[in-house]
Amino acid sequence: MSSSKIPVIEIFGPTIQGEGMVIGRKTMFVRTAGCDFRCVWCDSAFTWDGSEKDNIRLLTPSEIFHELKQLGNQNFNHVTISGGNPALIGKPMMEFIELLHEHDIKVGLETQGSRWQDWFRSVDDLTISPKPPSSGMNTDFDVLDSIIENLAGKRISLKVVVFNDEDFDYARMVHKRYDAIDFYLSVGNKDPYESGDISSRLLMSLDWLWSKVMEDPEMNGVRALPQLHALVWANKRGV
């Protein structure tokens, strides 16, 4: 029955979580297929643009767990669920998280805050990443408000990718709206398909972003980070 399965496009790791609240931690990744957004700069567009539809597999939670164990063996205790938008998936994701927890494995989630799922409450490291104007997407703040309300009392984080001044203003507005929530800024990668070393380009963007933060009294409590994996491994796939 396909409703008990999860559409998976890639499983990889162990790697190092390169973004946001879990930065620097060893983790495995499970990347689901399908997204309700179409961000112009999406570095994982293959999850939704049809270019890799033949690589999408419908897997049960225990099949995914088995594959994670084959890849990582004893060498991990954290799994990050990303996509695409994993929030498009309902009950099987709850079962998957329960299975990981039964094996003392912590769970991270990357999602954009456009859809709610009850299983969000079971996620250990929950990152909500609303999309700034440069993405071409609009934020439905009624939906985002209700997601944040549903998670009241739980330690979660917000992460906004910033490419330009307008994005920075958007990030400031989001931070102000949800001022009690840990807030991360993440450097936008303008060309997620460029080959070769991109570290100097990313570091120049980080320099710009840090300058913006340093001069802005409304951003005193935020953390501004690069995509650490992209600094070290450039646009390599599956890391």
Ligand X SMILES: Nc1nc2[nH]cc(C(=O)O)c2c(=O)[nH]1
Ligand Y SMILES: C[S@@+](CC[C@H](N)C(=O)[O-])C[C@H]1O[C@@H](n2cnc3c(N)ncnc32)[C@H](O)[C@@H]1O
Annotated binding site: 16-18, 31, 35, 39, 41-44, 82, 84, 129-131
223 interacts with ligand X by CB under 6 A: no
Q: How far is CA 99 from each of CA 17, 58, 125, 131, rounded to the nearest angstrom? A: 21, 17, 16, 31
Among ligand X, ligand SF4, ligand Y, none, what does residue 139 contact (CB within 5–8 Å per kind)?
Answer: none
Annotated binding site for Mg(2+), which residues? 44
CB 76 within 8 A of CB 28: yes
- Tell me, residue by residue from 82 to 101, as one string, x for binding to ligand X by CB under 6 A and - for no binding: x-------------------
84 interacts with ligand SF4 by CB under 6 A: yes
Among ligand Y, ligand X, ligand SF4, none, what does residue 192 contact (CB within 5–8 Å per kind)?
Answer: ligand Y
- Tell me, residue by residue from 24 to 63, as one string, x for binding to ligand SF4 by CB under 6 A and - for no binding: -----------x-xxx--x-x--x----------------
CB of 207 to ligand SF4, least distance (A): 24
CB 30 within 8 A of CB 12: no
CB of 29 to ligand Y, least distance (A): 10
Number of residues counted as binding ligand SF4 (CB under 6 A): 12
35 interacts with ligand Y by CB under 6 A: yes
Q: How far is CA 48 from each of CA 59, 60, 94, 109, 132, rounded to the nearest angstrom? A: 18, 20, 22, 18, 19
26 interacts with ligand X by CB under 6 A: no
Nearest to ligand SF4 of 159, 175 (CB atom): 159
Position among 17, 80, 117, 189 found at the interface with ligand Y (CB under 6 A): 189
* Beta-bridge partners for 10: 31
Six token digits for residue 126: 């929950």
Report the interface residues with ligand X, using CB under 6 A. Answer: 15-19, 29, 44, 82, 110, 229, 239
Site for ligand Y, rule CB under 6 A: 35, 41-44, 82-85, 110-112, 129, 159, 161, 186, 188-189, 192, 227
Residues that bind ligand SF4 (CB under 6 A): 35, 37-39, 42, 44, 47, 83-85, 112, 131
